[in-house]
């Protein structure tokens, strides 16, 4: 019973932050490395509640990608029928952006999805990833680059010189091809959309 009592105390602590009920899909990486579909149930600055039939234990560390919100890491502090809740620690500009978004949602405003792609796209800070990376060609040569934004389906990177459109490249664990040139660099379409734990956890590392 001790874990449940501890969970209750953690839950009381998290309620300092207003929760906003939001239904949006996502995926999470379980401690055993398996990947599962899930859905956001509610979210606050201090944590999120996830709907999922997958049984997990209090104290387990997981990684969650939520459409329109990005990547979160946290410890499970509560389990309930049909899901679980994790405690998160967000700071800096990302915390401010999330706070503004939650306040807007609480007022009944909708998240702007006019530019949404097949996969939600995030800047590195929102996904908890570093901007600096390396683009590698099929011949083994590589060029330092900076990730502008990314999704599970592709990325935009700042790079000079720019490889030709159609060039097969890899960035971190992801393989893809150059599909367009941009003012700062290139757009990459991934050819191995993540379906495994390592790619979901650290796609560019």
Question: Pick from 51, 74, 106: which residue ends a domain?
Answer: 106
When comparing pLDDT for 93 and 58, which is higher? Answer: 58
**pLDDT of 11:** 47
Cα angle 128, 132, 136 (rounded to 5 degrees) comes to 120
Structure confidence by residue, pLDDT tens digits, 151-182: 767 788 999 999 998 899 998 878 889 988 88
Answer yes or no: do 91 and 128 share one domain. Answer: no
Q: Is residue 90 part of a domain?
A: yes
Answer yes or no: do 137 and 197 share one domain. Answer: yes
- Please classify residue 186 by burial: count the beta carbons closer than 10 Å to its beta carbon, then call 0-12 exposed, 13-18 middle and 19+ buried: buried
Answer yes or no: do 19 and 99 share one domain. Answer: yes
User: Is 195's pLDDT higher than 60?
Assistant: no
Domain span including residue 12: 2-106
> Residues 6 or more apart from 95 whose CB is under 8 A from it?
45
Structure confidence by residue, pLDDT tens digits, 2-60: 344 344 444 444 456 678 888 888 888 888 877 888 999 999 888 999 999 999 999 99
Q: Is residue 114 part of a domain?
A: no
**Residue 49: φ, ψ to 5°:** -110, 135
Answer yes or no: do 155 and 94 share one domain. Answer: no
Question: Pick from 79, 106, 133: which residue ends a domain?
Answer: 106
Q: Is residue 111 part of a domain?
A: no
Which domain CATH number covers 180? Answer: 2.40.10.220
Of the candidates 175, 153, 202, 192, which has an alpha carbon nearest to the alpha carbon of residue 33? 202
CA 169 – CA 155 distance, rounded (Å): 12
Structure confidence by residue, pLDDT tens digits, 125-157: 555 556 788 999 999 999 999 988 877 677 889
* CA distances from residue 161 to 13, 135, 172, 183, 185 in whole angstroms, order as listed: 51, 11, 19, 12, 8
């Amino acid at each position: 019973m001790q874990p449940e009592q501890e969970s209750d105390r953690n839950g009381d602590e998290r309620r300092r932050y207003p929760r906003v009920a939001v239904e949006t899909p996502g995926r999470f990486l379980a401690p055993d490395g398996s990947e599962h579909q899930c859905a956001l149930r509610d979210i606050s600055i201090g944590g999120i509640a996830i709907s999922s039939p997958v049984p997990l234990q209090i104290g387990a560390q997981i990684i969650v990608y939520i459409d329109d919100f990005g990547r979160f890491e946290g410890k499970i502090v509560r389990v309930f029928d049909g899901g679980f809740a994790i405690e998160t620690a967000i700071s800096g500009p990302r915390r401010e952006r999330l706070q503004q978004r939650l306040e807007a949602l609480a007022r009944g405003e909708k998240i702007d999805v006019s530019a949404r792609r097949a996969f939600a796209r995030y800047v590195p800070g929102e996904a908890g990833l570093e901007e600096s990376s390396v683009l590698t060609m099929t011949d083994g040569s590589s060029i330092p680059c900076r990730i502008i934004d990314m999704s599970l389906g592709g990325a935009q990177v700042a790079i000079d010189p720019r490889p030709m459109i159609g060039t097969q490249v890899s960035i971190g664990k992801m393989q893809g091809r150059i599909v367009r040139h941009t003012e700062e660099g290139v757009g990459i379409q991934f050819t191995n959309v993540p379906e495994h734990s390592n790619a979901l956890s650290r796609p560019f590392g």
